[in-house]
Structure 1
Amino acid sequence: MKKRVGLLLAIMTAFVMLVMPLGNTTHAQAADNSLEKIQKKGVLVMGTSPDYPPYEFQATVNGKSTVVGMDVQIGKKVAKDLGVKLKIKSMSFDSLLVALQTGKVDMIISGMNPTPARRKNVSFTHTYYQGGYDIVINKTDKAKYKNKDSFGGGTLGAQTGTTQYNAAKSQTKNTTVKGMTSQSDLILALQSHKLDGVAMEKPSAEAYVSNNKQLAAIPSDFNMSSSATSSAIAFRKGSTSLVNKVNKTVDQIKKENLVKKDYLPAAGKYLKTNTVNTSMTHYWKAFLTGIEYTLIITVCSVFFGFIIGIILALARMARGNFFKNLLRWVATAYVEFIRGTPMMVQVMFVYFGLGLFVNLPALTSGIIAISLNSGAYVAEYIRGGINSVDVGQTEAARSLGMSNGKTMRYVILPQALKNIWPSLGNEFITLIKDSSIVSIIGVTELIYQSNIVRSDTYRGVAPIVVIMVLYFILTFTASRILNYFERKMQHA
């Protein structure tokens, strides 16, 4: 099944649990009103990672990219039985548990295993599906590989942190096991012969094989426990009344065999529809949306990052009384901390950590996080630019009776800006590419949209080539514009 929460998210979860008021937890356990809250709100937010056909994946429906699959059908059934509307929120699988614990989503239906480790942090319903595992291979190797024991001396791939990844590591001999975060990346590696096989769940294996004539599936013969091959719906810990209510829906789904009778066949139809037209021009709207969000994130982050950078640079250069020294110390600590932590962690902290107190949309969270990150780097550029201005400029301005503020504003900063313009341009170009990080929280920028297209078409290379070209066009155009203004400033 899908990958477990990685070390990074484990740290985030630990932080979240630490900052949560203990009184609220105690109250939730004493008086569970989870069912009442959902029914009163009238909306049930389902978190999912739509990259796992036929459980959940993207398909083009009436010209619009939509999340479909058997898990979506289950979500609709649950919402209908609760008498509320269903809202689907897409994000990476690794982010789902944190999103549930911080209230970003109300439930998770994403082919998730109800493992003992996960049960410590969330509440699961009864299982709604019992699966198994296959190994996907290139059809030309069908005579060579029969099961997991056939890969001696070869390379077997699986999603990092998943039960099949762990099984491949522990239950194969003389086999190199390679983990990747995306199933589509694994299939791409398989077809480019960087892997000999990919271990995945049976329905997903069947989905890829049925839509790609170059692939075949063989039994894995992994020795797996029932919890490692089953799927259940996850809710926040202590949501007893809500879980009990949803269990009735799950029991009905199993009793009427709706998964195999209705939900899987419906998902199969969407899978076939996806492969009718897999040309990249067919998905121009998806790429255009990605460009739009990438530019929104970049422009806003550059604007706010520049303002933050100026404030931090001036604060770092403050000298004098206790207040100014304290301001300098705080600014220095901020710059060093931001530059010393990955942007991905910062994005997740803003979205999930601050989300405990303010329910920020994913796009807003991404802009805030990237602006805060950019501000730390811009501050150093500006500080270096200010220091590069000859001290005689300051002395001349002061001799004319200009105040410190006016000297900085009208004399020093304009010259500093001219000196650091290439560095600021570099930062702008970098932000265009770094905006891809916000895809982890479900912002529909270029990387996110390319993953949608890959999920839709089962084509691994073509969408990558398209976004490479698009990123180059964006960065090349931006470079030419910045160079134009640089030349104008040099001649000013």
Structure 2
Amino acid sequence: MINPKIKKILLLIATVMLALSGLLGMVNPSANAKAQPTHDNYLKNVKKKGTLVMGTAPDYPPYEFIGKNNGSSQVYGADILLGQKIAHDMGVKLKVKSMSFDSLMVALRTGKIDMIIAGLNKTPQRAKSVDFTNSYYTSGTDLVINKKDKNKIKSYHDLSGQSVGGQVGSVQYDLAKSQIKNVNLKGMESVDDLVLALKTGKVSAVPMDASVAKAYVEHNSGIMQIPAGFSASSGASSDNNAAFSKGAKSLVASANKTIQQVQAKHEYTDQFVPQAIKHMTNNKNQSVANSMWSYKDYFLKGTEYTIMISLISVCFGIVLGIIFALMRLSHNWLLHAIAVVYIEFIRGTPLMVQIMFVYFGLGAVVNVPALTSGIVAISINSGAYVAEIIRSGITSINVGQSEASLSLGLSQSQTMRYIVLPQAIKNIWPALGNEFISLIKNSSLASIIGVGELMYQMRAVQADTYQGIAPIAVIMIIYFIITFAISRTMKFYEGKMNHGTNN
């Protein structure tokens, strides 16, 4: 026989899982496509809101990259200019959202963006999920290798059994995986990280778009590009296409009209690319220190966002932690079960997944901005850990004190408020400090959805300066300064608490 309380908890867990699966069914448009056919009002809706939201991964110069604009960062590139023209022809303004390349498809399918232009190649698999426009530009695939290996590596055939880097979700990644024999393929989200891995000897070559390879080779000493020699048997195309939601025929038709005009006038190659190159920074003759100092505004802005996210999240996390700690200690089986499910589920799933679920999943039902989504997800995550910290602090207080306060006429809530919690907080103060420090470091994961905190700004500096290690060193120092200051502050107040107790 199953214990009745355990049975109730299992039923509650099953109910929660059913609710989540129902929500995911709402989020995934393809899941309900057959049951709920929709009319194509995409273009009408875009015109109604007055903006066309374009998603891109700005680490792909000269197509899309982050550059300076009066001390702040801005996304530039030939693809951005194309997006502006497509939006102009629709009679709306273009809004650009930056995120990691492998998040773009999810963002499009969950309605966070209306269009993808990111040097995207059409493949049979992708065509099942989204609708592509006609090609607006055709480029080849090259290999970027170290100059010292120019006599060893002549094409992809020479990479058999070696480590090769590729951008996750890209056609180049798939080509390397399918055509290089016994390859040790290392997938990364950022092209900047791939180039850094190449220069530090972590990989022997990186396949990438020929124009992008040229941009990185021109701004990095010690590397070169060679023809990759891949065959097109995989069905992948070297054509660059814009992508829209599946069934958005009206948007595709409108974009195709613009693309047809652009191709007829050779605007992409003759105007957009040269105009984009003008915004690309050349730091070859500038020292690393001067180069990093010129981007101080980027790092200051990232620090501001990091501290803001952390402070707000820790406040909400403490409130949630107290509530769920008391619920878990409650003798009410329902409150106890809800607290257990929340704490164990949140602690059992990665924070990055939680951030993506809040932004892409719940955001498909309620439009939540990236910054708000990051704060909500980090607060919920912190709340689960704080709940366990507070619970351990409460249980560390001798039960005799609670019994004594009750015998003196205090209620249970007064006992908890005036007797137990103050002592528990003193006991758990070091653990709360560690949680706050961990939360500051974990805030870097919000960069995956385009929140402009320190990690995001570091990527922006990498993309604009083509320097891989220096920006990383800068944010390491900034993170250390922030966490060390917090650590000393927490230690100071811990000493004050101990001093007050001794007196």
TM-score by length of 2: 0.90
Deviation sequence 1:444-477 (CA, Å, 0-9, x none): 1111100000000000010011111111111111
Distance 1:122 1:153 in 2: 35
Identical positions, percent: 53
Select 2:294's aligned residue among 282, 300, 320. Answer: 282
Q: Which secondary structure does the structure 1 equivalent of 2:295 belong to? A: helix
Match in the other structure for 1:303: 315
Q: Which secondary structure does the structure 2 equivalent of 1:389 belong to? A: coil
Q: 2:145 touches 2:223 (CA, 8 Å); kept in 1?
A: yes
Residue 288 to residue 160, structure 1, CA distance change in 2 (3 Å): same
Structure 1 residue 27: Cα displacement = 10
Structure 1 residue 21: Cα displacement = 8.1
Deviation sequence 1:324-349 (CA, Å, 0-9, x none): 21111111111111111111111111
Distance 1:105 1:140 in 2: 43
Match in the other structure for 2:249: 240
Match in the other structure for 1:132: 140
Gaps of 5+ in 1: 1-11
Structure 1 residue 251: Cα displacement = 1.1
Q: 1:54 touches 1:203 (CA, 8 Å); kept in 2?
A: yes
Match in the other structure for 2:88: 80
Amino acid at match of 2:55: G
Distance 2:321 2:345 in 1: 14
Distance 1:264 1:463 in 2: 27
Match in the other structure for 1:367: 375
Matches within 5 A, 1:38-77: 38-77=46-85
Amino acid at match of 2:258: T
Q: 1:60 touches 1:274 (CA, 8 Å); kept in 2?
A: no
Distance 2:204 2:34 in 1: 51
Larger mean CA deviation between 81-90 and 13-22 belongs to 13-22
Match in the other structure for 1:262: 271
Match in the other structure for 2:7: none
Match in the other structure for 2:262: 253
Distance 1:305 1:419 in 2: 18
Match in the other structure for 2:157: 149
Deviation sequence 1:103-148 (CA, Å, 0-9, x none): 2111111111221211222111111111111111122322332211
Match in the other structure for 1:123: 131
Distance 1:98 1:177 in 2: 23
Q: 2:101 touches 2:169 (CA, 8 Å); kept in 1?
A: no
Larger mean CA deviation between 224-233 and 407-416 belongs to 224-233
RMSD: 2.2
Match in the other structure for 2:13: none
Select 1:482's aligned residue among 476, 490, 497. Answer: 490
Residue 203 to residue 20, structure 1, CA distance change in 2 (3 Å): closer
Select 2:365's aligned residue among 354, 357, 361. Answer: 357
Q: 1:308 touches 1:375 (CA, 8 Å); kept in 2?
A: yes
Q: 1:29 touches 1:238 (CA, 8 Å); kept in 2?
A: no
Matches within 5 A, 1:446-461: 446-461=454-469
Matches within 5 A, 1:15-414: 16-19=24-27, 29-152=37-160, 154-173=162-181, 175-224=183-232, 227-273=236-282, 279-319=291-331, 324-414=332-422
Residue 161 to residue 32, structure 1, CA distance change in 2 (3 Å): closer
TM-score by length of 1: 0.92
Q: 1:207 touches 1:271 (CA, 8 Å); kept in 2?
A: no
Structure 1 residue 165: Cα displacement = 2.2
Distance 2:459 2:161 in 1: 32
Q: Which secondary structure does the structure 2 equivalent of 1:156 belong to? A: strand
Residue 22 to residue 127, structure 1, CA distance change in 2 (3 Å): closer
Deviation sequence 1:250-290 (CA, Å, 0-9, x none): 11112222121111212222224566756100100000011
Structure 1 residue 71: Cα displacement = 0.6
Residue 126 to residue 204, structure 1, CA distance change in 2 (3 Å): same
Q: Which secondary structure does the structure 1 equivalent of 2:153 belong to? A: coil
